[in-house]
């Protein structure tokens, strides 16, 4: 299977944001993204797009869906969306507004029945488990709620073995937003535990960070949410350097 370069857009209360160790900085709305970063052009260099709503406030759900819908109207790749999926209806409306997959986060631990229901209704491939991870020596810990809530990692394995999660999005708690490089050790530890594609996120500050991570055998995809460093020419350069290194990505004209 070809590997994937993914861009993640973080949305919080009406605006896209940058995250640095879970402290967020407002960037701009969907129009701003278009005018300042020519996002549609930059999106020609990614294999997939992820939108995460980190508002933690259901009153922004509707605006998030509108934003999703606007973004996907000019981006012709698979799109995953999530954040605040509490019910089957929440998920269904994200699909309706243009998502091909949804991300589940707290529901993995608080409402696994919902995750099973989503998987049966929309297909296992359409449900992505998204968690924050911290490596502790040769072990790891799984977190939700912006790194404040430790969660039982076994639950991920249970849902995967039941066929309820199609892939895992692992964001490094320590590297999140630092631009200091990704933490390949996380995927290495997790690789022995789970038999689904792993998306590694957190810490990419320049193309070689993504290149180093995607080259690892147990990493299927790398994601960055770093608008400042990557959108613009950064995604094109990153894609070129990955292809030149011999890692197989999809090609288009």
Partner 1 sequence: MSNLLPPVTIVDYGMGNIRSIEAAVRHLGYESRVSGDRTVISESEILVLPGVGSFPAAMKAIKAREIDTGIRDAVASRKSKIMGICLGMQLLTDFSSEDGGSPGLGILGGAVERFSRHVAATLPVPHIGFNSVVAPEGSVLFDGLPPETDFYFVHSFRMATGKSSALLATATYGEKFVAGFESGNVFGTQFHPEKSQSNGLRLLANFLGSELT
Q: Which of 129, 166, 181, 207 binds partner 1 (CB under 8 A)?
A: 166
Under the criterion CB under 8 A, does residue 2 sit at the interface with partner 1?
yes
Q: Which is nearer to partner 1, 168 or 173 (CB)?
A: 168
Minimum Å gap between C-beta 132 and partner 1 is 24
Q: Which of 38, 96, 145, 193 binds partner 1 (CB under 8 A)?
A: 96
Minimum Å gap between C-beta 124 and partner 1 is 7
Minimum Å gap between C-beta 145 and partner 1 is 29
Query: Does the annotation mark 132 as catalytic?
Result: yes
Stretch that binds partner 1, among 20-28, 150-158, 171-179, 244-252 (CB under 8 A): 244-252
CA 172 to chain centroid: 11
Minimum Å gap between C-beta 239 and partner 1 is 11
Stretch that binds partner 1, among 26-34, 109-117, 122-130, 236-244 (CB under 8 A): 122-130
Under the criterion CB under 8 A, does residue 100 sit at the interface with partner 1?
yes
Q: Which listed residue (132, 164, 176, 183) is catalytic?
A: 132
CA distance 128 to 57: 21
User: Helix crossing, 112-122 with 154-161: angle to 10°?
Assistant: 30
Under the criterion CB under 8 A, does residue 4 sit at the interface with partner 1?
yes
Q: Which of residues 170-229 bind partner 1 (CB under 8 A)?
A: none
Rg (CA), the chain: 17
CA distance 229 to 251: 23
Q: Which is nearer to partner 1, 11 or 97 (CB)?
A: 97
CA distance 48 to 222: 10
Is the separation of the CB atoms in 122 and 102 below 8 Å? Answer: yes
Applying CB under 8 A, the site for partner 1 has a residue count of 27
Is the separation of the CB atoms in 101 and 78 below 8 Å? Answer: yes
Minimum Å gap between C-beta 98 and partner 1 is 4
Q: Which is nearer to partner 1, 2 or 20 (CB)?
A: 2
Residues that bind partner 1 (CB under 8 A): 1-2, 4, 44, 47, 69, 72-74, 76-79, 95-98, 100, 123-125, 166, 249-253
């Amino acid at each position: 299977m070809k590997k994937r370069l993914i861009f993640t857009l973080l949305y919080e209360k009406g605006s896209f944001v940058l995250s640095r160790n879970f402290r967020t900085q407002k960037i701009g709305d969907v129009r701003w993204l278009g005018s300042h970063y020519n996002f549609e052009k930059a999106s020609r260099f990614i294999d997939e797009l992820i939108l995460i709503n980190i508002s933690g406030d259901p009153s922004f759900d509707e605006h998030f869906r509108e934003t999703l819908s606007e973004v996907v109207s000019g981006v012709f790749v698979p799109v995953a969306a999530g954040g605040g999926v509490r019910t089957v209806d929440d998920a269904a409306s994200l699909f309706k507004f243009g998502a091909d997959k949804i991300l589940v986060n707290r529901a993995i631990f608080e409402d696994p029945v919902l995750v099973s229901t989503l998987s049966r209704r929309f297909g296992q491939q359409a449900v992505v488990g998204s968690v924050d991870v911290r490596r502790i020596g040769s072990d790891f810990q799984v977190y939700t709620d912006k790194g404040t809530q430790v969660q039982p990692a076994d639950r991920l394995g249970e849902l995967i073995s039941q066929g309820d999660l199609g892939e895992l999005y692992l964001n490094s708690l320590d590297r999140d937003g630092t631009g200091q490089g990704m933490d390949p050790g996380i995927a290495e530890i997790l690789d022995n535990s789970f038999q689904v594609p792993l998306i590694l996120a957190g810490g990419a500050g320049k193309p070689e960070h993504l290149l180093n991570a995607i080259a690892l055998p147990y990493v299927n995809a790398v994601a960055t949410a770093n608008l400042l460093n990557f959108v613009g020419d950064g995604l094109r350069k990153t894609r070129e350097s990955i292809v030149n290194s011999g890692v197989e990505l999809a090609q288009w004209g």
